[in-house]
Amino acid sequence: MVTAIILGLISSLHCIGMCGPIAMMLPVSQKNASKKVMQIFAYHIGRISAYSILGFVFGIFGKGFFLAGLQQQLSIIAGFLMILFVLIPQNKLGELNFLQPFYKVVTKLKQKLGSQFKKQSFRSLYLIGFFNGFLPCGMVYVALFGALATQSVFLGMLYMILFGIGTIPLMSSVVYIRNLFSEKARSNIMRYYPFVIVLFGMMFIIRGLGLDIPFLSPNTLNLFVRGEAIC
């Protein structure tokens, strides 16, 4: 759970690069400060709602791996997937035929997202955040691997909720201090996020190896006892 918060804080730098333009264009009130805060909050609640749903789904898969007795292997697999995601060029991923239906769904999400920018209601701000949460994002994928490795439906949801909470401070600041996050600044920030993903991938691999390192790589028995407690 600690990694979820840390990942959220770090990934918000990446979010500024990818989702920053969305946050900058939020149809929030410019005259009523308190209303503006509540509208931004509605946007974040929408994003976190989407993340929690994704965490629920991946938690179910993780639970299945746990029941199959693959706790450590799952952590190692999640770590390798994180690193593999960095190594495979994004344009190559787009060429894979089995991802085409996914991109069609993304196109529809973008259309629904765009239609909400014409309104200033709390419902619209919530829906902007909700649709935003389902858009493709490398750091969200990394967080989902983490949710998968929890091997629990509840913890999978909690992992993604904490991840979303970690992104709130910087994503909120974008709305208020837009000039500090120019396109060039966002581009420079995005150069560093692959290193962060690799670092977290290595952490999950080390965790799965059961090296008996406190808080980082519990031994096989500790993982088993923890899993039983989750059940």
Q: Tell me the pLDDT tens digit for each residue of 116-168.
A: 777 778 888 899 889 888 877 777 877 887 888 787 889 989 999 999 998 88
- Higher-confidence residue: 95 or 106? 106
Q: What is the rounded average pLDDT for all residues in the chain?
A: 75
Average pLDDT value for residue range 208-214: 73
Query: Token pair of 97, please?
Result: 């035929």
Please report which confidence band the pLDDT of residue 94 belongs to, taking 50, 70 and 90 as the band edges: low
Report how far residue 129's alpha carbon sits from residue 134's, in angstroms, rounded to the nearest whole number.
9
Distance in angstroms (rounded) separating the CA atoms of residues 218 and 222 = 6
Give the structural domain span for 143: 2-230
Share of the chain above pLDDT 70, in %: 70
Q: Report the alpha-carbon distance of residue 129 to residue 24 in Å, rounded.
A: 13
More confident residue, 97 or 123: 123
The CB density around residue 229, as the number of other CB atoms within 10 Å, is 8
Phi, psi of 217 (to 5 degrees): -145, 80
Higher pLDDT, residue 44 or 75: 44
CA distances from 125 to 9, 84, 142 (A): 22, 34, 25
pTM of the model: 0.73
CB count in 10 Å sphere of residue 93: 13
Give the length of the chain: 231
Higher pLDDT, 92 or 139: 139
Is residue 137 classed exposed, middle or buried when 0-12, 13-18 and 19+ CB atoms within 10 A define those classes? middle
Residue 7 scores a pLDDT above 90 = no
- Phi, then psi, of 60 in degrees rounded to 5: -60, -45
User: Which of 172 and 43 is assigned the larger pLDDT?
Assistant: 43
- pLDDT for 157 equals 93
Q: Is the pLDDT of residue 200 over 90?
A: no
For residue 213, the cross-strand partners are 217
Backbone angles phi, psi at 128, to 5 degrees: -60, -45
Q: What is the pLDDT of residue 227?
A: 46
State which of 9-18, 57-66, 175-184 shows the largest mean pLDDT.
57-66
> Region 3-22: what's the mean pLDDT?
71
- Count Cβ atoms below 10 Å from residue 44 Cβ, excluding itself: 21
Confidence check: pLDDT of 230 > 60:
no
Report the chain's C-alpha Rg in angstroms. 18
Q: Copy the structure tokens of residue 98.
A: 């089995």
> How confident is residue 228, by pLDDT bands cut at 50, 70 and 90?
very low
End-to-end CA distance of the chain: 17
DSSP string, 135-170: S--HHHHHHHHHHHHT--HHHHHHHHHHHHHHHHHH
Structure-block tokens of residue 34: 């308190």
Which uninterrupted H or E stretch holds 3? helix 2-18
Domain count, the chain: 1
Kindly report, residue by residue over 19-44, the tens digit of the pLDDT.
666 777 788 887 888 888 898 899 99
Q: Cα dihedral sign for 166, 167, 172, 173?
A: positive
44-64: pLDDT as tens digits: 999 999 999 999 998 888 787
217, β-bridge pairs? 213
